[in-house]
Each structure stands twice: as C-alpha cells, then as structure tokens.
C-alpha cells in the first residue's frame, strides 16, 4: 500500500514515546510532501485512521496492537533562516536542536522551551507552553497540508488558546520570529530553565508531561488539586503519581497503558473533578 515509502511494520511503540509504554503498530516515514500526500490518500481510500507522530512526548499508546497508521514527520527537519530574526522550522524538528540553532544564531525568545522533549509540529498544534509562555508567541505563519494541497496560513487567521489551536490540516512547518540576543545570555537562560525543570518535575522518570490541562476560566490547577488530596506517590501497577510533581504520572519501568488509564480514573474519582486530559491516548 505504501510502496517505496519507508515503513516499519509491527514496530515496538515503546521506542517512539517518552512514556516508554505501548504495544505494536505500523509507522510510516514520508521523506517529502508528495509521499505524505500518498499516505493520506491511501489511508482515506482504505478507510484507515492515521495519526501524525512527532517526538511522542505527550502520547500514551495502547498496550495492544494499534490499527491506526502512525505517520512520523522526522524527515521534515529543515531549519532555515528566512530573515535575520525569522526562521522556518520543519514540523519534525525537536525543541532541543532548535534551541541550539537559535543560541548559535543569537536568537532569543524560546529559551523557556529548553528541556521539553517535543517536536515543533506537536508543540504548535497543542500550543505548548511553560513558565508563562506559549509557542504561539513566536508564530508568524504555518505551512499545512490540507485536502491534498499545501497552504500557508498567517497567524492572524489562526486561533490559539491554552494548550489548544484551531489548526485544520497536517502541520508541515512554521515561520517563527525571534529577538536578536546574545549567545551567552541565551545559553544562561536555557540552562536556567532546564535546571528549574529538573528541580520541579520528575525529569529522571519516563512520563508524557502534564497529564491534565489547567482550566483557566475556572482557575483549576490539576496538580494542586491532586496534591491537596494527598495522592502523590499513589501507584497502580507500574504507574505512579509523581512524588515530585502531582501533575505527572510516571512509568517506574514496567507500567502498562491500562495502569495509567486506571490511575487517571482514580484521580478523577478521588478529587471529584472531571479533569481534561492533556496527553493523547492512541489506540
């Protein structure tokens, strides 16, 4: 079905997410837009679901075989300076190498993301953020594949909110704007944010980041609620509510997806809150 396109059948999905949890599935690796178009067309033709896979930093894969076709955009990894303070970044570029590129080109404004193990495509789609910042601050326009055509969409025609966007289509990349800065100052800020993460988050454990979204309108901060109910350290199987940060569920090495899902339901039951998931369950 995907003749000529790089593919891994029966892939061990534990290797493709930061949670290190999951069963088996098919992953395809398009090297360009034409191959991506073919994959989408074949999936539609054969009534197959597909899911765009970035760095897997906010995903929970099912323990069983996944019928959804996983489409990795790891080859969409271009970083290209458009103007002195504008950079085009492919959807498959991870935030670590992007931060290194920006530092080496004296471009500031994304230091807060240093240490987040995600890709730009996923970060834009969910409007990732931390420390009072979000990725949408730096967006000028995005490049998407929609209905078989490549479109460039200006930020003014997009809607971003807390951990959400209204982007319709497959994100191929984005043109981002930064501030001119100083290499040493940028490096200092990057390390400062990284150390703050290590101090406050279970950085040494397998996880998928924050499990639940904050509810800005109702001022609901899931981590505080979970902590208030004394649930830190609660375990089901190999999954545990982090003792360091109540907003994280960590994999102690042998966790199953079913353990994580059960712990999520337990949190909702104990707190009485219908908390909205930030992580995405793929089955």
pTM listed for this prediction: 0.94
The pLDDT assigned to 1 comes to 86
The CATH code of the domain at 204-282 is: 3.90.78.10
- Give me the catalytic one of 136, 210, 240, 242: 210
Helix, strand or coil, per DSSP, at residue 80: strand
Report yes or no: 28 and 39 within 8 Å, Cβ to Cβ. Answer: yes
CA distance 165 to 45: 28
Answer yes or no: is pLDDT of 219 > 90.
no
108 counts as catalytic: no
- Give me the catalytic one of 35, 111, 240, 278: 278
Report yes or no: 81 and 101 within 8 Å, Cβ to Cβ. Answer: no
User: Chain-centre distance of CA 187, in angstroms?
Assistant: 23
- Give me the catalytic one of 163, 207, 214, 240: 163
> Which pLDDT band holds residue 218 (cuts at 50, 70, 90)?
confident
The pLDDT assigned to 48 comes to 96
Mean pLDDT over the full length of the chain = 97
Q: Hey, which CATH number is domain 79-185, 3.30.1490.270, 3.30.465.10, 3.90.226.10, 3.40.50.1240? A: 3.30.465.10
The pLDDT assigned to 137 comes to 97
Domain ranges of the chain: 6-72, 79-185, 204-282
Q: Which fold has domain 6-72?
A: 3.30.43
Write the DSSP symbol of residue 56.
-
278 counts as catalytic: yes
Report the length, in residues, of the chain.
Answer: 283
197 counts as catalytic: no
């Amino acid at each position: 079905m995907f003749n000529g396109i790089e593919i891994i059948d029966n892939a061990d999905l534990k290797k493709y997410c930061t949670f290190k949890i999951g069963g088996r599935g098919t992953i395809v690796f398009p090297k360009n837009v034409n191959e991506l178009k073919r994959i989408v067309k074949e999936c539609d033709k054969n009534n197959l679901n597909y899911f765009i896979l970035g760095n897997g930093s906010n995903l929970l894969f099912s323990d069983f075989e996944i019928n959804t076709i996983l489409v990795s955009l790891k080859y969409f990894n271009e970083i290209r300076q458009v103007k002195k303070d504008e950079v085009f970044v492919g959807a498959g570029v991870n935030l670590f190498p992007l931060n290194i590129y920006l530092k080496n080109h004296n471009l500031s404004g994304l230091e807060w993301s240093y240490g987040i193990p995600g890709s730009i495509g996923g970060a834009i789609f969910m409007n990732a953020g931390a420390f009072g910042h979000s990725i949408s601050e730096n967006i000028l326009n995005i490049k998407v594949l929609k209905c078989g055509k490549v479109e460039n969409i200006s930020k003014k025609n997009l809607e971003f909110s807390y951990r959400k966007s209204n982007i319709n289509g497959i994100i191929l990349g984005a043109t981002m704007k930064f501030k001119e800065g100083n290499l040493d100052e940028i490096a200092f800020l990057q390390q400062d944010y990284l150390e703050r993460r290590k101090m406050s988050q279970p950085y040494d454990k397998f996880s998928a980041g924050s499990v639940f979204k904050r509810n800005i309108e109702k001022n609901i901060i899931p981590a505080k609620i979970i902590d208030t109910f004394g649930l830190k350290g609660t375990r089901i199987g190999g999954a545990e509510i982090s003792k360091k940060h109540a907003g994280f569920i960590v994999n102690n090495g042998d966790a199953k997806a079913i353990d994580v899902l059960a712990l999520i339901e337990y949190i909702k039951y104990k707190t009485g809150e219908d908390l909205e998931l930030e992580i995405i369950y793929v089955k």
